[in-house]
Structures are given as C-alpha cells and as structure tokens.
Structure 1
Amino acid sequence: PSAEVIGGYFAEYEDAFDLRVHRPVEVSAVREGPGGRLRAETSEGVWAPRALINATGTWDRPFWPRYPGQESFLGRQLHTADYPGPQEFAGRRVVVVGGGTSAVQHLMEVAEVAAATTWVTRRPPLFRAGPFDEARGREAVARVEERVRRGLPPQSVVSVTGLPMTAAMERARAAGVLDRLPMFDRITPNGVTWADGRGVDADVIVWATGFRAAIDHLAPLRLREPGGGIRVEGTRAVRDPRVHLVGYGPSASTIGANRAGREAVREIRSLLAEPGDGPTGGPRDRHVDSPSQHAIAAAV
C-alpha cells in the first residue's frame, strides 16, 4: 500500500536533493508585504518571499454538508477522512453519503460486515466502462482547467471522470449493494427520512462528501473571483502572479501536481529574473523573524 512507502520515498527525495524542508509549520496568513514582497505569517515566524507556491491541497479540509436534524442523530457520524476500516461497522446499519470513488469503496467494504447499508447521492452516479486512457485523462483535465480559468471552484474528481466500473463493483451491483437512493431531506434521531415519507433506520452515517481546497490562509490577498474560486492560468493566480497554486483544480492529483510543480518553478524563475530587484535586492521586513526568502512553498 502506498501509505506504507510514500513517506519513506519523500524522505529519501529530500535527502538526495538537500531540500531544506521545515516541519511542522502552520501558515496562518499570507498578505501583502513590504517592497512588493509577500508576508507569510507562520508558526515559525514571518517570511517575506517574492513568490509563493501554495501546495496545500485539500486533505486537511473535509467537507461536511448540513442537513436538518443533523444534531439530533443518536448514532455515530464520521467523515471518510476519519474512516477506521470496515471492522468498526460490524452488525451496524450504515448510511453512506456521496457519489465518489471513496464512497463506493467504503460502501463495498462496509457491506461485507454491516447488518445493512444504504447508499445516498445527490445525483445519479455515472459509471464509466473501459480504461481511463490518455485521451480521457486530457479531456478531464481540460474540463477542470476551464472552470478555474473562469474563477469557479473546482468540482469533485468524479464529476469529470465518472466512476470506473471494476469487477468488484460489478459484483457489488449485482448483489444490490450499489442500489442508490436520492439525497434524504432530514436526519432523525434514529436514521434519515425523505419528503415522500420514506425512511431508513441507521446506527452510523458515513459522509463520503469529499474535500475543499485549503486556501483560507490566502484570504488577505483577495484572490477569489465573484464565482467563489481563484482564477488560475496554468498554476499562476491571475490576480497575483507571485502566487502559484499546485494541488488546486487540474493539479489536484499526484500526477497533476508533479507536472504543475515544474510549470510553477519555470514561471517563478522567470519572475525572479525580472529586472528591478536582484537576488538580494528589495527591502527586508524589519519584523521578519526568519531569513527573507526568494520563494517559499507552503504546505499545511
């Protein structure tokens, strides 16, 4: 499993290339700084970079929808960010909310041990047959890029890729595990109900409702467009060319982030080479606690 090897891989990568990574560091805010620099306020002091790669992704910002009666539920509610494995659902009646790949994977695991499962999604799931080849990959990336170019928030991955139909999913569908119900209207102390009077009793509600971009620390820069997202060209924030976003929109995947990282570095190298502020030029913020940086990458 990748979780067992990826940490070690990146540790070796840092050593091999002598990357001076500081951790753990929390970035609380990035705002306009002195002399055309940015001001990054962090748990390790204040930094004054000329450019910033924001690689914060989405994983530490799970999305919890709100529904009437949610606080009255007597059972357990959890997000897939805290999914403990199927063993904790043995003998329980479980409602899984969400139409993404993780929702389907967790649903199939839980169904093996649960007393009953119910799958609920806002829209009918779109299952995709055949391989997710290069052409389909390009099409999916292009659709996400079009949204962020217009300043709209990125949508879920499955909204542009669909759900890949595997042999295990075929078996689950034949067994009725993937029989989907529309989104319920209310949560009750003992389950969920719909406006037409239907109801399902539940001991657990699993919210497989995805994540949102972790970009609140960039709010002082006012990068958001009226549509709610940050308009991005490539990786560059259109409202501030000093800020590049990796892990946002089309780069919100391991492969996409690798490609976007290279693009961001190329653009920042060009930015730093512009005349008017040499490598050591520009005023130093007298309140900066850490050395002023030419460019920093933020990951919280």
Structure 2
Amino acid sequence: MDAAAPTHNPQPSGVAIKTEIVVIGAGQAGLSSAYHLTQRGLAAGRGFIVLDQSPRAGGAWQFRWPSLTLSTVNRVHDLPGMAFSEAVDTGRTEVEAAQAVPQYFAAYEERFGLNVFRPVKVAVVCRRGERFRIETDRGQFSSRGIINATGTWETPYIPDYPGRDRFRGRQLHTRDYRTASEFAGQHVVIVGGGISAIQLLNEISQVTTTTWVTRRPPQFRDGPFDQEAGRAAVKLVEERVRAGLPPNSVVSVTGLPRSPLIEAMAARGVLKRQEMFSEITATGVRWADGREQRADVIVWCTGFRSSLDHLAPLLLREDSGGILMGGRLATEVVKEPRVHLVGYGPSASTIGANRAGSAAAAELMATLGIGPAEAGR
C-alpha cells in the first residue's frame, strides 16, 4: 500500500455512519487501540472506525524535521503484533524518521486491515442520547464509545511573555523547525529544557551563535534509564491525571540523559544555560536585572498541550483544567466512561501508548457490554 495514499475517503451525507466505537487519531496510541479492538473480535469498519486527519499514515512523525533520523530519535517502540524491523531496514540509521515511521505505520494498517478513514478532521463530538455524534469535514459518524488518540502535535504551546508581539525578528515553535542552515549568521535564542530543545540547540549551535534559556535548571540524569526508572516516571504523571490535574509530560520527570551528545555539547560550550528572561524587546530579550541579548530568532521548544478541543461539548474537564482519569492505566474519563483518552498523560510516551491501547479497548468494550458474541456480529 502506498503510504501517501488515503485509505478511505468518506463523502459527506445527511446520514451518519454508525458504528460501535470511533477511534480518533491514527498515531501510535490510535493504532495500538485499533489492533486490540480487532484482537477482541471487533471488526474494523463494522464494529469500529479509525478517523485520521493526516493525509497519510505516520501520525505526527510524518511532520518531523529532516535531521531527525533513526540514529537521533528516541527509540521508536514496536506496535503490538508487528516489529518495526519487519517494515523498515533498521540498519539504515540515517534514514529520516519522517519517512521510516510512516512506512511502518502504513504496513501495520495494511497487515491488520485497520481501514483508516483519512484525511478526516473531527470538528466536534456531542452526545446524542445513548450515542455520540462525531462531526467532521467529511460527514458525520455515530458511535456508542470513543477512544481519543489525537496526541499533542496540533496544539503547540508558546508562553505569553511580555513584549512577544513587539519582537521584529522571527519566532517559531519546535514543530515549525526544518533545518539549522536557515539560521546561519543570525543569533538564535532557544527556549526550553527538554529533549527537543537539546537536539535543536546542538544543530543550530554548529552553524551560528546561540543563547539557551530555561525556566528551571535542567536536570541531567546519569546512568541508564531502565524499566524501573521508567515506571517511576510514568507513575508520577499518572498520579496527576488520577487527581484530575493537567498532565506533565513523562520527559519532564525523567531528566535529560547524560549522553555522548550532551558531553560533546558541554565541551563545545553551548550548554551554558541562562535563566528565563523577563521580557522580549523589539530586538531581543531582557532579563529582570537589566541584561539584554540581541536576537534575530527565538525558537520556542516549550512543548505541546493535549489536542482535545473537539471534546469540549462533553464537559470532561475539572475546575483545575485537567480531566479526572480512572481505569487500570488511567485512560478512562471518570465523568464519561464511554470515552477513553490514550496518548494522554502517562500514555503519552510511545511505549505507554501501546499498553494504554490494550487497556482502553478492553475496558471500553466491557462498559458498552460488547463481548465476543456481540463483537462478531
């Protein structure tokens, strides 16, 4: 199957397409959920439908910058039932992640007959009696349950610092970054202390001058990040969503690994972190003590927020701004158990998304009373 070709193109009509469960999003979490629905006997197309707004398979990976290769990206975890190496030559480490992952996802969709509808952008999800109405740019769908796997890529976060609108230079977010060469000869301020900030700082600092600023001092982690450390990090994020608080990213509680890349950057002198500036001027940034730095570009590596606006009519949020989550792996919305969020909170990592897909499929089918007999109809 051509990875760039849409799998299905539903046409608008006055009659909603009805199914038991709609999966919104076909990234790692969405495909994992769809796989586990099929393993529990629910047929793609009749029992559940996957909607994806992207033009081809690959989730957010297809939009990543070209220099993000299999050798530089954090590990791409296998989807359940099919290894990454079955679709991609993992020996070619310099292949772009934006090519390799879509190739893998497309092969996965074909192998398990997931019949993803794309491109379909979900505008809003509403309750209609005992069912949900899913309104999209390609018509309406109706389901008894929802597995939402829309991730964060569509909701980049840029903090509103004083003077941001006055800056005469260029501002961009991580998701807008393509190549370091476009910044040659310019001074670039890079904001953020996560893995993406480090990757962009490394590349850009090799072609021009940079200033690195973070809100908190970066935490560098020594030693391997083993399963025990991973479980501890996920547990911290899970505790927040089970309390109805907005999730922190899993990376925010793991720290940055002291890798050979980090050591090389330190040796080059580019890891001289500055505290966060207090305002942005027309020509740069200014700190509270009056220090100023001229800048041509500000790159905001400040993360993303969960893309959940289409679920707003369901009134899922608490006063805290978060969503109270329950279930075995904190995928079930407590206010509305017929809705599961995967790729949210503790399942935002690629390995967490696989486990969350399994839990969401099992728990949602149980909530809807879909057993083996019903699933096979």
The alignment's TM-score, normalised by the length of structure 2, stands at: 0.71
**Offset of 1:157 from its aligned partner?**
3.2
Aligned to 2:340: 244
Aligned to 1:214: 307
User: Which residue, out of 262, 279, 289, partners 1:186?
Assistant: 279
Aligned to 1:167: 260
Aligned to 1:235: 331
Aligned to 2:42: none
AA in 2 matched with 1:67: Y
Aligned to 2:105: 10
Deviates more, 1:155-164 or 1:81-90: 155-164
Aligned to 2:115: 20
2:183 pairs with 1:89: yes
2:126 pairs with 1:31: yes
User: Which residue, out of 47, 51, 54, partners 2:141?
Assistant: 47
Aligned to 1:291: none
For residue 52 of structure 1, give the secondary structure of its aligned residue in structure 2. Answer: strand
User: Which residue, out of 29, 36, 60, partners 2:154?
Assistant: 60
**Offset of 1:274 from its aligned partner?**
6.3
**Offset of 1:61 from its aligned partner?**
0.8
User: Which residue, out of 150, 158, 169, partners 2:243?
Assistant: 150
Contact 2:249 2:348 in 1 (8 A): no
For residue 211 of structure 1, give the secondary structure of its aligned residue in structure 2. Answer: coil
- Matches of 2:240 and 2:155, distance apart in 1: 21
- Matches of 1:274 and 1:142, distance apart in 2: 30
**Offset of 1:174 from its aligned partner?**
2.9
For residue 141 of structure 1, give the secondary structure of its aligned residue in structure 2. Answer: helix
- Matches of 2:166 and 2:251, distance apart in 1: 31
**Offset of 1:155 from its aligned partner?**
1.1
For residue 132 of structure 1, give the secondary structure of its aligned residue in structure 2. Answer: coil
Structure 2: 5+ residue runs without aligned partners? 1-68, 70-96
**Offset of 1:279 from its aligned partner?**
5.5
- Matches of 1:43 and 1:259, distance apart in 2: 31
- Matches of 2:110 and 2:285, distance apart in 1: 51
- Matches of 2:276 and 2:216, distance apart in 1: 8
**Offset of 1:73 from its aligned partner?**
1.1
Q: Deviations over 1:245-295 (max 9, x none)?
A: 0110011121111110011111122123269xx959xxxxxxxxxxxxx9x
User: Which residue, out of 129, 133, 137, partners 2:230?
Assistant: 137
For residue 24 of structure 1, give the secondary structure of its aligned residue in structure 2. Answer: coil
2:125 pairs with 1:125: no
- Matches of 1:170 and 1:228, distance apart in 2: 39
For residue 133 of structure 2, give the secondary structure of its aligned residue in structure 1. Answer: strand
Structure 1: 5+ residue runs without aligned partners? 281-293, 295-300
- Matches of 2:116 and 2:265, distance apart in 1: 44
Name segments (4+ residues, structure 1) moved above 3 Å.
Answer: none
- Matches of 1:145 and 1:28, distance apart in 2: 28
- Matches of 2:151 and 2:261, distance apart in 1: 30
The 5 Å alignment of 1:64-79 reads 64-79=158-173
Identical aligned residues as a percent? 58
2:297 pairs with 1:201: no
State the structure with bigger RCO (CA 8 A, min sep 6), 1 or 2. 1
Q: Deviations over 1:164-193 (max 9, x none)?
A: 111121121233211111111111111100
2:355 pairs with 1:259: yes
- Matches of 1:279 and 1:51, distance apart in 2: 15
Query: How many residues were matched structurally?
Result: 277
Q: Deviations over 1:64-118 (max 9, x none)?
A: 111111111111111010111111111210100011110011111111001x210
AA in 2 matched with 1:203: D
The 5 Å alignment of 1:269-280 reads 269-273=365-369
AA in 1 matched with 2:184: A
